[in-house]
Amino acid sequence: MRSRRHIQILSVATLLALGLTACGTGTTADSSAESAPTPSPIARADDVSTAVGEPSGKVVEEGSRTPRLAITHDEGVIVLDAVTLELLGEFPLEGFTRLNPVGDDRHLMVTEGEGFRVLDLGGYSVPHGDHDHHHSTRPTLTEMTFAAKHPGHVVVHDGRTVLYGDGDGSIRSFDSDALRDGATDKPEVTTRTERTPHHGVAVERDDGSVVTTVGKEDERSGIFIRDAKGKTLASSDECPGVHGEAAARGGALVFGCEDGLLLVKGEQITKVDAPDDYGRIGNQAGSEESPFVLGDYKTDPDAELERPK
């Protein structure tokens, strides 16, 4: 079922402050982040973790959360104390890297080479009845890797983490909390494969259905909704250049197009037209607790790199 409506586009002065990660850029991500006083310049800890492989160091129970901040740079990843900016870990890596939350407030996926690699930030909280127990340990760049040709988007939704391989069409999903306690074995993974690999994204919902982009290596056109067994429930080809996704309250999902966006609720797909003939929304940020989604908005189809204001 499809319907159409129009929408006003909200410009955002800065998207980084909202935690919006643009595809193809260096990224930052945090673990258990909370408001904090203005930090001092980065200071180096006396014992900086460079642990690679199995988690190392003892686990300490803390009186409150210990938020961590991970930042990519030209030669790898560093992990900071998000309050003091003390350098807690540094891990050299070659090539272009990105960071994405796993969804357990402890781990990140490091996109590198031909796979997704798990980074343990070392600061985490475990639910215990009506409260949480807070823990800290040394950051570790683990050897746990999920192979994928040209690894792309990582999406967390409805308690499931989905990894998308642009070059092989692989879609791997697992329980977002499966690694929270520091598991060293890979979680149970559900694997699907798209027949036409492309720079895409997939979202798994709590009923096992998957919403995924449609396209080829040089062209993307829309989305499919498939049930847990792979049967197509709905589709739309009204989204040229489909890119990125975000979730909102009530199970709503949005996918950006070059002329607006697609809104998904249940099995219904609605095309939301941009006010311009070319109005590209390629990156979005949303919350499952909010009815609002924020996105970038580009109006120059010939621009080499357009930075919306």
Give yes or no for residue 286 having a pLDDT over 90. yes
Residue predicted with more confidence, 3 or 232: 232
Q: Which residues pair with 79 in a beta bridge?
A: 70, 89
pLDDT digits (tens, 9 = 90+) for 5-45: 434 333 322 222 333 444 544 444 455 545 445 555 566 65
Report yes or no on whether pTM surpasses 0.75. yes
Residue 203's beta-bridge partner residues? 211
Q: What number of CA atoms fall less than 13 Å from residue 28's CA on the CB side?
A: 14
Per-residue pLDDT at 296 exceeds 60: yes
12-26, 34-48, 68-82, 218-232: least confident range: 12-26
CA–CA distance, 130 with 290 (Å, rounded to integer): 24
Question: Cα–Cα distance between 70 and 161 in angstroms, integer?
Answer: 19
What residues form DSSP beta bridges with 247?
253
Q: Residue 308: pLDDT above 70? A: yes
* Rounded Cα–Cα distance for residues 57 and 287 (Å): 34
Specify the range with the lowest mean pLDDT, choosing from 60-64, 95-99, 166-170.
60-64
Angle at 290 between CA 287 and CA 295, to 5 degrees: 60
Residue 193 banded pLDDT, cuts 50, 70, 90: very high
Cβ atoms of 246 and 253 within 8 Å: the answer is yes
Specify the higher pLDDT residue, 190 or 58: 190
In our burial notation (b when 16+ CB lie closer than 10 A, e otherwise), range 212-246 reads bbbbeeeebbbbbbbeeeeeeebebebbbbbbbbb
What is the C-alpha end-to-end distance of the chain, expressed in Å?
35
Residues 88-111 have a mean pLDDT of 92
Q: Are 299 and 309 in contact (CB under 8 A)?
A: no
84: left (phi over 0), alpha (psi -120 to 50) or beta: alpha
* pLDDT band of 55, cuts 50, 70, 90: low
Q: What DSSP line would sit under 27-72, residue for residue?
A: -EEEES----PPPPSPEEEEEEE--BSS--S--EEESS---EEEEE
Strand partners for 154: 163
Q: Give the distance, in angstroms, between the CA of residue 170 and the centroid of all CA atoms in the same chain.
A: 16
Q: What gap in Å lies between CA 169 and CA 306, rounded to an integer?
A: 28
Q: Is a pLDDT exceeding 90 seen at residue 210?
A: yes
Three-state DSSP class for residue 85: coil
b/e string for 151-166 if b means 16 or more Cβ within 10 A? bbbbbbbeebbbbbbb
**pLDDT by residue (tens digit) across 122-134?**
888 777 788 888 8
What is the amino acid identity at position 186? K
Give the number of other Cβ atoms within 10 Å of residue 10's Cβ: 10
Task: Characterize the bridge pairing of strands 151-157 and 268-273.
Answer: unpaired
Confidence of residue 143 (pLDDT cuts 50, 70, 90): very high
**Which range is most confident: 2-6, 122-126, 140-144?**
140-144
